[in-house]
Amino acid sequence: MSRPHLTVITHQRWRADDLRPYADVRQDHGLDTAAAGDVDVALWCPGAWAAAAIARHPHLLLSSAGPAWLDHVYQLLAGRDIRTSTAADLIREASGERMDPVFAKLSETKHDSFSARTREVGQLLAALYRLPPDEPVQLQTPAHFDYEVRCWLLGGQVVARAAYFPDVPREQWPALDDPCRSAEAAAWLAQLVPHYLSVPPAVVIDVGWCVDPVVGPAGWRVVEANAPWSADWYDPDDMSAVVETIVASQRDVPAKWRWQPSPLLKRLSVGLIAR
């Protein structure tokens, strides 16, 4: 089998070096979208660059679970109440009302202008006003996960996993990694697909041990879904499977799972589209 061809859009050389044992890798700094012009090359890239790339190169199809995917995960499996709406709708709902603090995040987009965190209603409104009115925003009951595992799924099977610790410096992760616990998380997720979770053919699902779920005892819960072509791979147990999942997320993508950039990403990518 021939090695996959992969272009990594990043300024971080180490990311390209991570993948070189498993693919023919080219690093691109993403100053334009020319790298998306080759139909035989898969991409790993940030969302804002991808938004410009699919606008300039219509052949490029990227998959994702979609902005409202987590809304349809059973509460017992998610461990919290979850609702996705537009920034404008949430502004109308929250204005003049008393609300408990909520965990708020952009549904699929990662951007410093709206970080994923718990906010009081005043903080939430201020952040929402900075977004495009039709930007999807997800509200969740605040929950605490004390151990999280990223899982790569291909054809409904968990093919790789990596523990991650978002509140701890990355150099300290190896000391916290528990392979047995990570395997337990992956096995729990594998039991859910396809009976209880509808997922794209290639997807990344994060799972965490939730200590305070709104329903049921503490245990593993679904944290979120991510697109393989932009998800950080951390330190996986099978990097070749990670690369395979990245490539598969851009091949023969069903219409149901085709990624569409959010209004914020479209706004951020305007300058790059013009290059």
Quote the percentage of the chain above a pLDDT of 70.
Answer: 98
Amino acid 142: pLDDT: 95
pLDDT score for 1 = 59
Amino acid 271: pLDDT: 80
Is the per-residue pLDDT at 189 higher than 70? Answer: yes
- Model confidence pLDDT, tens digit, residues 28-55: 999 999 999 999 999 999 999 999 999 9
Give the pTM. 0.95
Cα 76 to Cα 1: distance, rounded to the nearest angstrom:
42
Look up tokens 């080219």; give the residue: 26
pLDDT at 275 over 90: no
- Write down all domains in the chain, each with its CATH number in brackets: 5-62+259-273 (no CATH), 81-140 (3.30.1490), 143-248 (3.30.470)
The Cα 167–Cα 151 span in angstroms is 19
Of 55-59, 181-185, 218-222, where does mean pLDDT reach its minimum?
55-59
User: Which is nearest to 204 in space by CA: 245, 253, 238, 244?
Assistant: 245
Q: What does the pLDDT read at residue 107? A: 94
**179 upstream amide cis, omega within 30 of 0:** no
Asked whether the beta carbons of 202 and 230 are under 8 A apart, the reply is no
Strands 136-140 and 102-106, by their bridges, are: antiparallel
Nearest-angstrom CA–CA distance, 107 and 65: 10
Task: Report the C-alpha gap between 91 and 16 in whole angstroms.
Answer: 41
How do residues 192-226 score in pLDDT, each as one tens digit? 998 999 999 999 999 999 999 999 999 999 999 99
Query: Taking 80 as the threshold, does the pLDDT of residue 99 lie above it?
Result: no
